Amino acid sequence: MFPILYILYFPSLIPLRMATSQQCEPSQQSESGKALKGHIFKSKKVQDPYQCLIFCYSEFTCQSYNYVITGKLCELNNRTKEARPGDFVRDETRFYMRRWKNRVSLGSVPEMPAESCREIKASEQGMAVSGRYWLEPRETKMKSKNFLVYCDMVSVDQVWTLLARFSNSDTKNWMDDSGDWWYDSTQAAGETADPSYNADMISPAFWLIGGSELKITRNDDSGHTPLLQTIGNCLSGKTFRSKITSYGNFRNGSVWSNGKCLGKCKVQYGGQYQTTEGFGQASCSSDLQGADEVGFWCVKGWSGSVIMIGGGGADCSDADHGIGTTVAKLTSFKIKENNRRESDFSNDAWGSITKSYSLNFWIR
Ligand SMILES: *[C@@H]1O[C@H](CO)[C@@H](O)[C@H](O)[C@H]1NC(C)=O
Ligand SMILES: *[C@@H]1O[C@H](CO)[C@@H](O)[C@H](O)[C@H]1NC(C)=O
């Protein structure tokens, strides 16, 4: 039954094919015996496949459609099979067709948000370049709205989402006594979708986007070359907030630890890390951790960092190098004794602290 019907319907597709013949590609063909499941946002009964196509073209967010052959049902999808290959399944009762003309690319407008930068790259492939995109929070219980992020599309497997930025040129946000930016804030602050600014920033991606690895880049490097990237699944699917807050509640002056890092991940360095502040101990290994590690909530004596870069301890300049550094006594977000210091990032919280560039923080 099915092949006969398909042949009967075929003529009605011919005018469309001619109209767009210069764009003809294999993806323009319907794929019989297949359907995309889980992304149907509208469906209705139609006369024939051509009407289904017209229905799709009349809906701004239609990315592709399934046609139910015997029921003449038209199902519009708000994703393509490229975006969600795992949901593209065998289904002998349907055929699948990608929208060819005027398809809005995923993440390009707030009405067509993506789940992640990675999904945008999968959907748009070679057309997806680094830049600003719209994402929608996966956890709707958080009641957050769609948000704009910056995606660094290095390759299909190297898609980074900008989470945060650390700058010494503005007021302390990251080092506020409350620890609010690390722990609690659900308000975006600063230029969340522009990696070139030299000012603090926190993106909703900090608490909404999970991943496996982190990277740090400089705001004055438009290539976003990793100065450091973690290896070995540092985050194992978590968001950065859930990772960093999993070690304890250090809000409001609670002391972090002593003589150790509460967590660590293996890293590799690159780019101009040797001349970037915060990376001063990137080739030193000592008792707190090795040169090829990044540590969380590291403390040695009265010095510490939320994210310590490279070795630390007696032979590696204690623990106030990296991101979120402090010489508070005892080590916490709260400086209880006068004239102690803290910074968003530094080689040494007592030393000179650069204000001329900032560090961007990314997840993939
Ligand atoms: C896409 O469709 C699904 C249902 O398949 C729906 O839950 C979701 O909200 C839709 N997304 C958008 C942006 O319309
Ligand atoms: C932190 O301290 C402030 C005032 O000192 C207080 O209002 C707030 O409730 C405290 N927060 C927590 C999480 O302990």
Tens digit of pLDDT for each residue in 149-184?
999 999 999 999 999 999 999 999 999 999 999 999
Token pair 């509208």 is found at 42
**For ligand 1, mutation pick of 43, 63, 78 (most atoms within 8 Å of CB):** 78
DSSP reduced 3-state for 2: helix
pLDDT confidence of residue 178:
97
Name 274's Cβ contacts closer than 8 Å, sequence gap at least 6: 282
C-alpha of residue 177 to centroid of ligand 2, in Å = 9
User: Residue 9: pLDDT band by 50, 70, 90 thresholds?
Assistant: very low
How does pLDDT run across 47-95, given as a tens digit for each residue?
Answer: 999 999 999 999 999 999 999 999 999 999 999 999 999 999 999 999 9
Nearest CA to ligand 1 atom 11: 78
Proximal ligand: closest to the CA of 180: 2
pLDDT confidence of residue 251:
98
Closest CA to 268 of 294, 242, 248: 294
How high does pLDDT run on average in the chain? 92
How many of the other CB atoms lie within 10 Å of CB of 330?
16
C-alpha of residue 39 to centroid of ligand 1, in Å = 6
What is the mean predicted confidence (pLDDT) over 307-316?
95
For residues 22 and 42, the model is more confident at: 42
Structure tokens at 65: 């459609």
Nearest CA to ligand 1 atom 6: 41
Predicted TM-score (pTM) of this structure? 0.89
Residues in contact with ligand 2 by the CB-under-6-Å rule are 178, 251-252
pLDDT confidence of residue 23:
46
The answer, yes or no, to whether residue 139 has pLDDT greater than 80, is: no
The answer, yes or no, to whether residue 11 has pLDDT greater than 70, is: no
Alpha-carbon distance of 147 to 221, in angstroms, equals: 24
Nearest-atom index, ligand 2, CA of 249 = 13
Q: Per the omega criterion (within 30 degrees of 0), is the bond before 330 cis?
A: yes
For the ranges 127-141, 281-295, 300-314, the lowest mean pLDDT is seen at: 127-141
What phi and psi values does residue 302 have, to the nearest 5 degrees? -105, 50
Nearest-atom index, ligand 1, CA of 136 = 13
DSSP reduced 3-state for 289: strand
